[in-house]
Structure formats: structure tokens, C-alpha cells
Chains A and B, each alone.
Chain A
Amino acid sequence: FTFFPGTPRWPDHRQDLTYGFADQLTDEVKAVFARAFERWSAVTPLTFTPTDSYFLADIKIGFFTGDHGDGEPFDGVLGTLAHAFSPTNGRLHLDGAEDWVVAGDVRTSPLPSAVDLESVAVHEIGHLLGLGHSSDENAIMYPTISSRTRKVELGSDDVEGIQYLYGSNPNYNGSTSTTSTHERETSGGV
């Protein structure tokens, strides 16, 4: 696991975080993000609560295309899928041009460019919380993911990294994930 330079983290007095969406999204899409946040809160003392107030939210989530004003333009289908900022910026941006799959088994998708939304959301939340990219291919924080791939469970590398920053959830029993439980990539991707 790695951290951003300077090891930024959410301070102790800001560990109950809110998140909001820039777009009008369906409950099904919002549920994907709720599950993604839950994976990180299960292993840390952090909590995440949805709010209707995008501008007041600690974490601001939006789908954008092309140049969207932060100096990191998106590039259309595949390529760059999303990006997120280090603590305590809170911005999580996803490429609105992607073919996001929010339910069902993305691995059986007939669409070569299908991308599993929850997999990408879990990764980007890791950045929001202070994790950088990992060389461990089993880690959520590994930088690449093939299309038609689902990878949503935190690896031991992710858990060690995030618990270094925030400590452990008192209810965490150490069995959230192991390498063998990962849903591994089954597609050659592009």
C-alpha cells in the first residue's frame, strides 16, 4: 500500500463523513456507492452517510465527460475511468462516457466496454481516504482494471494501509477479505 505525499488523512474530528452526488441518480446507482463506502467503514472507524446537499457534503461525487474543470479531462470510453483527490478535498469524479454496469454480473456482459461501477467506486474511495496506488495485483488500489471485471473486496494490503491511517473498526474481525475470495478478472479486456 502507498499514501499520497505527506500522508494526508481525514482528521480525527472529521471521521463521520457525508457524501453527495452532483447528478440525479437512481436509487440503484446510489446503492452501489453505499456498498462501496461500507467496505471501507467495515474495517475502519470511519462512517459515511448520504446527504442531499452536494455542496455541503464532505465527499462530492459526480459523473463528468471530457474537460470538466479540474485539469484532468476524461478521455471517452475506457482509458481513464475515474479519479479522486486526496484528503480532505473530497472530490470523486467518474467518466460519464463509460458503460457503467450497476447490477448483474459484469463478467457475462456482451458489451466489451462494460465497466463495473462498484469496483471503480471502491478504488476511488480509497484515494479519498488517503491511499495511493499499490503494486499488489490483488489489492483494490491496484491502478488498472479490465473491462467486464468485478473486483470489490478489499485485499489484505488495502486493509493494512487504511488501518495504518485510521486504525481498525472495533467490530472488524480480520476476515473481510483474503486473496482467495477476490472475484478475479476473467476477461482479456481490451
Chain B
Amino acid sequence: RFFPNITGLPPLPFSKNGTLAPWDAFTKFAGCRSGEKRDGLAKLKQYFNEFGYIQNAPSNFSDDFDDELEKALRVYQQNFNLNVTGELDDQTLQKIVLPRCGNADIVNGTTSMNSGKSASFHTTKHFHTTEH
């Protein structure tokens, strides 16, 4: 739908199917952290898979807040200049639900956004192990 000028827009209130965006439901995960299980977390994992933060997707994601989701969150937070908490804090969720480009942030497991500048996406864990 094209709106050639602002005056042509429908007046408020306006909604389609009662929701504004497909990712709004993620806000219910506020405060969720590693080890917890919440209905619908699988869809958040699909989101991170779509944008390159979770590689090698299984046929079905679980609703568990597992290590893979925490790792994806940390990389996402680094890429978007958020506090790297590994948790679904409000600041991170506010960013996740924003409309965005469909292109992935991480392609073929590599990123040169923020998280790729200090160490590669895949070698971060190895880097720490080597240091110790």
C-alpha cells in the first residue's frame, strides 16, 4: 500500500489483526535467562537463525533458553551496541522487535559487524580457552 501523502493516511486507532508487528510477542520474554523454559522461545530462536546468529538450525527449535540462544544473544547485543548480558533484558527486546532489513547480519557464520572485530564469531570460545 502506498500513501502519496500523509493526509491520505487513515486516522488512529488503526490496526491489522490486532497486532502491529510479527515480533511483538517476544516482549513477553523480558527477564528470561539461561536455564529457563518459556513457551514460544523457539520462535525467537528462529528469528536468530533467520538473521544468522544461530547456525545449523535443527528441524525444530526447543523452547529452552539454552547455551546456543545465550551465545546468539551475546553476539546480537555486541553487534547492536547493547550491554552484553546474554539475557533478554528490556533494552535488547526493544531492539529485537523493531522492523528491520531481511538480510542476515551474519552470513555463512562470519560477521564483520561489531562482534567480528575483536574475534571471529566461531572462535571466541576457543580464544578464551587458549588464554587460560
A residues neighboring B (CB under 8 Å):
2-5, 26, 28-29, 72, 74-84, 96-106, 108-115, 117, 120, 123-124, 127, 132-135, 137, 143-147, 189-190
Interface contact B100-A145, CB-CB below 8 Å: yes
19 A–B contacts, CB within 8 A, in A order = A2-B113, A4-B107, A77-B16, A81-B100, A82-B101, A83-B102, A100-B3, A103-B5, A109-B9, A110-B14, A111-B12, A112-B14, A113-B20, A117-B2, A133-B113, A143-B51, A144-B99, A145-B100, A146-B98
The one of B9, B11, B100 in contact with A80, judged by C-beta atoms closer than 8 angstroms, is: B100
Interface contact B99-A146, CB-CB below 8 Å: yes
A-B contact count (CB 8 A): 142
Interfacial chain A residues near B11, Cβ < 8 Å:
110
Q: How far is the CB of B82 from chain A (nearest CB, A)?
A: 10
The one of A3, A81, A102, A117 in contact with B99, judged by C-beta atoms closer than 8 angstroms, is: A81
Q: How far is the CB of A7 from chain B (nearest CB, A)?
A: 10
The 4 closest A-B pairs by CB, nearest first: A83-B102, A78-B21, A104-B6, A2-B112
Contact (A83, B103) CB under 8 Å given A109-B9, A135-B79, A137-B81? yes
Does any Cβ of A come within 8 Å of B1's Cβ? yes
Interfacial chain A residues near B102, Cβ < 8 Å:
72, 74, 80-83
Interface contact B101-A26, CB-CB below 8 Å: no
Interface contact B4-A26, CB-CB below 8 Å: yes
The one of B1, B3, B15, B100 in contact with A144, judged by C-beta atoms closer than 8 angstroms, is: B100
The one of B21, B101, B114, B116 in contact with A123, judged by C-beta atoms closer than 8 angstroms, is: B101
CA distance A100 to B5 in the complex (A): 10
Interfacial chain A residues near B95, Cβ < 8 Å:
144
The one of B4, B16, B103, B110 in contact with A102, judged by C-beta atoms closer than 8 angstroms, is: B4
Interfacial chain B residues near A117, Cβ < 8 Å:
2
Interfacial chain B residues near A84, Cβ < 8 Å:
103
Interfacial chain A residues near B111, Cβ < 8 Å:
2
Q: How far is the CB of A148 from chain B (nearest CB, A)?
A: 10
Interface contact A98-B101, CB-CB below 8 Å: no
Q: How far is the CB of B105 from chain A (nearest CB, A)?
A: 5
